[in-house]
């Protein structure tokens, strides 16, 4: 029934609805109609929330091909899909990126190194190009290192690098700046060591909202940064010398926030 018919019918039936037999006096009818409108009108101003309006995960990697991803500066055979996995052979060093930018979101990604000391990562709020003479873009890096990396890449005096390197460090690359929750210089170390070694799957959930990033490693939030100088950009996957496998890459887009034009990565055509 249309709104007009609903009002007209309600007007006609107002007397019967209030228990009045016979014609209802016009002033009383008008008073009751106003009461009816006061109750019903707010319902017409509130739009129903549909399933499409509720944030939900969608695949960034479909398990079949590289749809939705753009090779930035790696070789044609750097990335391949096999048995539902996204496999990066690690050479040359570089990235591929999403075909569009993201501002506020939750990124779910699972990864596994195949070599001791393997190096990789994912960039969020990243630029979609790499400057001349560089191998990696400006962006916020979420580090993915195999547990033997500190032993295989020692300090000049022979000491192992800090174990914090390999448990989800967060840091701005290429000029992006942040305020680290647990500082190691300009980087943020995880408060707890939770990553697994080669041959085992690791699960990252990366929450990115208005310049704040919180990282969950294998089911627990253990790292974060705030006041990122960039708040909107591309998501990149990194090739950095060693084979790494990815699966279940999903994103939940959240409502837009406070990213200003100067806090947004330049848009790159596909």
CA–CA dist 183, 40 (Å, integer): 56
Is residue 48 predicted with pLDDT exceeding 70?
no
Shared domain check, 131 and 8: no
Torsion of CA 268, 54, 52, 263, to 10 degrees: -20
Which domain does 16 fall in, by range?
3-45
Tally of structural domains, the chain: 2
Residue 139 belongs to some domain of the structure = yes
If one compares 260 and 5, the residue with the highest pLDDT of the two is: 260
How confident is the model at residue 163, as a pLDDT?
A: 83
Which pTM was predicted?
0.81
Residue 269 belongs to some domain of the structure = no
Shared domain check, 100 and 17: no
In the chain, how long is the greatest CA-to-CA distance? 102
Shared domain check, 98 and 231: yes
Shared domain check, 135 and 94: yes
Shared domain check, 225 and 128: yes
Shared domain check, 82 and 18: no
Strands 94-98 and 234-239: antiparallel
Shared domain check, 122 and 20: no
Question: Among 67, 46, 117, 128, which residue's Cα sits nearest to residue 95?
Answer: 128
How confident is the model at residue 37, as a pLDDT?
A: 44
How confident is the model at residue 230, as a pLDDT?
A: 98
């Amino acid at each position: 029934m249309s709104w007009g018919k609903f009002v007209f019918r309600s007007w006609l039936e107002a007397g019967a609805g209030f228990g009045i037999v016979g014609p209802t006096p016009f002033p009383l009818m008008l008073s009751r109609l106003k009461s009816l409108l006061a109750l019903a009108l707010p319902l017409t101003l509130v739009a129903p929330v549909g399933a499409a309006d509720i944030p939900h995960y969608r695949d960034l990697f479909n398990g079949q091909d590289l749809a939705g991803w753009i090779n930035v500066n790696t070789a044609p055979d750097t990335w391949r899909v096999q048995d539902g996995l996204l496999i990066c052979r690690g050479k040359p060093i570089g990235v591929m990126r999403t075909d569009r930018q993201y501002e506020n979101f939750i990124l779910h990604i699972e990864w596994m190194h195949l070599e001791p000391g393997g190096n990789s990562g994912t960039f969020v709020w990243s630029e979609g190009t790499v400057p001349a003479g560089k191998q990696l873009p400006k962006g916020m890096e979420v580090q993915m290192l195999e547990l033997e990396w500190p032993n295989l890449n020692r300090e000049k005096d022979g000491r192992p690098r800090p174990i914090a390197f390999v448990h989800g460090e967060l840091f701005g690359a290429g000029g992006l700046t942040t305020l680290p929750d647990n500082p190691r210089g300009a980087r943020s170390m995880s408060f707890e060591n939770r990553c697994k070694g080669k041959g085992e799957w690791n699960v990252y959930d990366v929450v990115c909202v208005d310049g704040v990033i919180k990282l969950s490693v294998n089911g627990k939030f253990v790292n974060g940064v705030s006041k990122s100088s960039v708040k909107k950009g591309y998501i990149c996957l990194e090739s950095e010398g060693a084979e790494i496998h990815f699966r279940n890459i999903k994103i939940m887009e959240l409502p837009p926030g406070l990213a200003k034009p100067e806090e947004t990565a330049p848009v790159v055509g596909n």
